[in-house]
Structure 1
Amino acid sequence: MRRCVQLDGFDEHLDYLRNGDYELFAEPGDYFSYCNDTFLLLGAIIEKVSGQSYRTYVTEKLLKPLGLTRSTYDVDHLERFDNVSIPYVYNKEKNHQEAVAWPKLGNYEVGGGIRSTAVDLITYSRLYTDPSFRKARFPIRERVLKSMWRPLIEVNDFSSYGYALQVVSNYEGKTLVGHGGSQPGVSSYFGFIPEEDTVIVVLLNCSDAPADDLWRAIANVALDLPLEQSMIEETEYTMIDEEKKRLLGVYYVREGNTEAHITEESDRLAITMDGRKLSLRAENATTLVIEETGKPLTFYLSEDGIAWGVRVGLRMFLRK
């Protein structure tokens, strides 16, 4: 779905979801693809049940009780804070970073519109790691809280998605829980390792930065693992030409109007996305791995054997 920040209120957004120009690529429940437009339905439900605006409800019920004094939905509120970072967006034509204003996200703030700090997010993390803090500040049942990262939908061979958090259930015997986010001028990843009571926060004031890769590297250090260890055990698989041809092409996702180009040059596969060209290796006939980051690309084939889609991160890209 195309991102429509200009929509005013959830009623307009519900109309957009109901009547928008889009088509289903599969039956509900067949595949998973993260979508901010449908995620914000939760905000509409909160407003309907509580009788308050989404902003007001979350601020009064969560931010204030937890003592998150430098966390806000209101961009204008940032002017009252000191020591506020400046967002930067990379200008491809001029080949340098440019300062931009903090963006107003409209309804999309439901899917991650809080402007916060590493210190506040560490405090927030105590909901998951400190039972006494949770009982005093936000008395939610542990069973309900853990459902946020209990595996519900398989994302790829090693990770799943729960109710709003992604989980790697067995990373060298440990559990990695977290979620990333981005907006113009911001890249972020928040997560924790339950068995170690370890919380890691990565906040970067620039777009398209590898916050999740930095997070994983820090997690490796915390677990006494090699810095560049990947979540995928490297295996040797040599693709034949016919298998490669099934995957080559241009794939797109409407949200953000992003394209992923899968190409071959000198018998080497590569992906070009967001102006970056990265090398790929084959894990099997339908999975390629970005060599620089260890991230998998899972392809889905139609009956004729040609890939109709590829999962990049949490989103399904469709063949163009």
Structure 2
Amino acid sequence: MNSQEWIASYEEFVRETMMERKVPGAAIGVAKDGQLVYAKGFGYRDAEQGQVATVDTLFGIASITKSFTAIAIMQLQEAGKLTVADPVSRFLPEFHVKTGSGTEAITIHNFLTHSSGLPPLSCVDEALKIGMNTYEELMTYMAQLEFPILGAPGTEFSYSNDCYTLLGAIIERASGKPYSTYVKEHILQPAGMQHSCFSLAELHGYEDRTPLFETPPFQSSGGLKSTLTDMMRYTELFRTKGLIGKERILRTESVQQMTTPYFRCEHNQYYGYGIAITPNFYGAVMLGHSGSEKGIQAYMSIIPENGLAAVALTNLSGSPAPALAHGTFHCLENRPAKSTHVTYKEYDLPPDRLLEYAGEYGSMEGIHLQVSVDAGTLIVTIDHSDSFSLKAIDEDVFLTNVEGSDQTVRFIRDGSQTVIRMMGSYRQIPKRV
């Protein structure tokens, strides 16, 4: 398929997907061996004002920010100011939790890999609601909460915005600079990411942007805003193992440490430091991360050995940004845009066993799920609204489709084989009843 053919096929897929999912605007790009192959804005950055999205429209990237936070930690390790094996308490002596005595054993590595043992919490959101402005106030608030830990540090994976927020405090104390200043001086500026920022005040009147919200003061878990042009430059760091243009942002060994698959986060995916690793994407290793917040759904993906990188930025939370990004790979490599890289075998699970999983699940992060059985099918209902059917693919593991992408749900049992938690969207969610 020549370039004209694959682009026509891909753009038809984008238009159909955006119309079906009511996505107002998007900016999507793909590069091969460091050269931009395709980049385009679709729809509107502000539909009410009729303002179109472009490759230089500023979008929020939400949790993709975590990869920048991880890079900052690795740079400070290279500079000898910390190691990932350091206990968090070396830099955050105020950090404690009520339940469990293992706080002192939690390391920076545990924070980076979401393996601290902390369950999903809502500390950052609550802190913003009640006007907290410092990391010290945040840690005081966390220390007052009562919750069961998931396990000893390094034994359980569960995605934690709070831990990545506290990595921002570690970066500040180790570097002596505010988190946003450090990232700007050591990553954004050397990378030539001239329109990327944490505060809209830094833009000096730059108007090509989606409606965005400020997220001070806790920015290290999801506060960066960027453009497609800038993010395509950023993906080079992972393709080249540390270089963006002629600037070395990280040493090769630091990138390798970041992209090591430490913990399984999906049935066919693992988590490193601020990066998810898919070991087999049509025979190649794929790196990536997504981001989702109010008015934001973003995704970046890199296949270093094939020289490929793609980014999809959208202004609708819950939009199929991963499918839009992966669609560029599929069309470039002569696959249908809606292809999936994983095939799952159905698992023979007796219908009467489905009741073992039924019940209510919820977390302090505000997630509420109802798992029920309907006509021999397991159903998950989110916040009494959206429902998804689950198909068994392994013991305690089920497949569903969310936002246009296959995702797995795993149920976790205690020593007596009773289901106590479910793992979905990277989070362990306790069973309540």
SS at match of 2:246: helix
Higher RCO (CA-CA < 8 Å; seq separation 6+):
2
Structure 2 residue 368 is the aligned partner of structure 1 residue 259: yes
Please state how far the C-alpha of 1:130 moved relative to its aligned partner: 4.0
Please state how far the C-alpha of 1:303 moved relative to its aligned partner: 3.7
Can you list the C-alpha shifts for 1:23-58, whole angstroms capped at 9, x where unaligned? Answer: 313222221001011112211111111111111111
Amino acid in structure 1 at the alignment position of 2:408: P
SS at match of 1:106: coil
The answer for the alignment partner of 1:176 in structure 2 is: 286
The answer for the alignment partner of 1:96 in structure 2 is: none
The answer for the alignment partner of 1:277 in structure 2 is: 387
Asked whether the 8 Å contact 1:189–1:212 carries over to 2, the reply is yes
Asked whether the 8 Å contact 1:253–1:259 carries over to 2, the reply is yes
| Closer/same/farther in 2, CA of residues 271 and 132 from structure 1, 3 Å limit | closer
**Which stretches in structure 1 are left out of the alignment for 5+ residues?**
87-101
The answer for the alignment partner of 1:301 in structure 2 is: 413
Structure 2 residue 186 is the aligned partner of structure 1 residue 74: no
Amino acid in structure 2 at the alignment position of 1:314: Y
1:109-124 alignment to 2 at 5 Å?
A: 109-124=219-234
| Closer/same/farther in 2, CA of residues 226 and 301 from structure 1, 3 Å limit | farther
Can you list the C-alpha shifts for 1:42-78, whole angstroms capped at 9, x where unaligned? Answer: 1111111111111111111111111111111003445
Please state how far the C-alpha of 1:217 moved relative to its aligned partner: 3.6
Once residues 264 and 206 of structure 1 are traced to their aligned partners in structure 2, the CA distance between those partners, rounded to angstroms, is 31
Return the match for 1:50 from 161, 175, 188.
175
SS at match of 1:272: strand
Asked whether the 8 Å contact 1:251–1:260 carries over to 2, the reply is yes
The answer for the alignment partner of 1:189 in structure 2 is: 299
Asked whether the 8 Å contact 1:287–1:296 carries over to 2, the reply is yes
Please state how far the C-alpha of 1:232 moved relative to its aligned partner: 3.7
TM-score (norm 2): 0.65
The answer for the alignment partner of 2:272 in structure 1 is: 162
| Closer/same/farther in 2, CA of residues 177 and 223 from structure 1, 3 Å limit | farther
Structure 2 residue 127 is the aligned partner of structure 1 residue 8: no
The answer for the alignment partner of 2:163 in structure 1 is: 38
Once residues 393 and 151 of structure 2 are traced to their aligned partners in structure 1, the CA distance between those partners, rounded to angstroms, is 25
Please state how far the C-alpha of 1:129 moved relative to its aligned partner: 2.4
Asked whether the 8 Å contact 1:158–1:231 carries over to 2, the reply is no
Please state how far the C-alpha of 1:117 moved relative to its aligned partner: 0.8
Once residues 44 and 132 of structure 1 are traced to their aligned partners in structure 2, the CA distance between those partners, rounded to angstroms, is 24
The answer for the alignment partner of 2:428 in structure 1 is: 316
Once residues 240 and 225 of structure 2 are traced to their aligned partners in structure 1, the CA distance between those partners, rounded to angstroms, is 23
Once residues 188 and 297 of structure 1 are traced to their aligned partners in structure 2, the CA distance between those partners, rounded to angstroms, is 22
| Closer/same/farther in 2, CA of residues 10 and 209 from structure 1, 3 Å limit | same
| Closer/same/farther in 2, CA of residues 289 and 51 from structure 1, 3 Å limit | same
| Closer/same/farther in 2, CA of residues 22 and 222 from structure 1, 3 Å limit | farther
SS at match of 1:111: coil
TM-score (norm 1): 0.87
Once residues 260 and 226 of structure 1 are traced to their aligned partners in structure 2, the CA distance between those partners, rounded to angstroms, is 33
Amino acid in structure 2 at the alignment position of 1:206: L
Please state how far the C-alpha of 1:178 moved relative to its aligned partner: 0.5
Once residues 211 and 115 of structure 1 are traced to their aligned partners in structure 2, the CA distance between those partners, rounded to angstroms, is 16
Asked whether the 8 Å contact 2:150–2:156 carries over to 1, the reply is no
| Closer/same/farther in 2, CA of residues 311 and 8 from structure 1, 3 Å limit | same
| Closer/same/farther in 2, CA of residues 282 and 149 from structure 1, 3 Å limit | same
SS at match of 1:295: strand
| Closer/same/farther in 2, CA of residues 230 and 264 from structure 1, 3 Å limit | farther
The answer for the alignment partner of 2:20 in structure 1 is: none
The answer for the alignment partner of 2:261 in structure 1 is: 151
Amino acid in structure 1 at the alignment position of 2:371: I
Asked whether the 8 Å contact 2:195–2:226 carries over to 1, the reply is yes
Once residues 259 and 311 of structure 1 are traced to their aligned partners in structure 2, the CA distance between those partners, rounded to angstroms, is 13
The answer for the alignment partner of 1:210 in structure 2 is: 320
Asked whether the 8 Å contact 1:40–1:107 carries over to 2, the reply is no
SS at match of 2:406: coil
Once residues 172 and 307 of structure 1 are traced to their aligned partners in structure 2, the CA distance between those partners, rounded to angstroms, is 34
Higher mean C-alpha displacement, 50-59 vs 225-234: 225-234
Once residues 226 and 26 of structure 1 are traced to their aligned partners in structure 2, the CA distance between those partners, rounded to angstroms, is 42
Can you list the C-alpha shifts for 1:2-29, whole angstroms capped at 9, x where unaligned? Answer: 2322321211122233333333132222
Return the match for 1:129 from 239, 257, 267.
239
Aligned identity (percent) is 24
The root-mean-square deviation of aligned C-alpha atoms, in Å, is: 2.2
**Which stretches in structure 2 are left out of the alignment for 5+ residues?**
1-120
Amino acid in structure 1 at the alignment position of 2:210: S
Please state how far the C-alpha of 1:226 moved relative to its aligned partner: 4.2
Can you list the C-alpha shifts for 1:163-206, whole angstroms capped at 9, x where unaligned? Answer: 11000112221111001111111011112111111111111101
Higher mean C-alpha displacement, 301-310 vs 181-190: 301-310
| Closer/same/farther in 2, CA of residues 280 and 222 from structure 1, 3 Å limit | farther
Please state how far the C-alpha of 1:79 moved relative to its aligned partner: 6.4
Asked whether the 8 Å contact 2:241–2:256 carries over to 1, the reply is no
Higher mean C-alpha displacement, 295-304 vs 214-223: 214-223
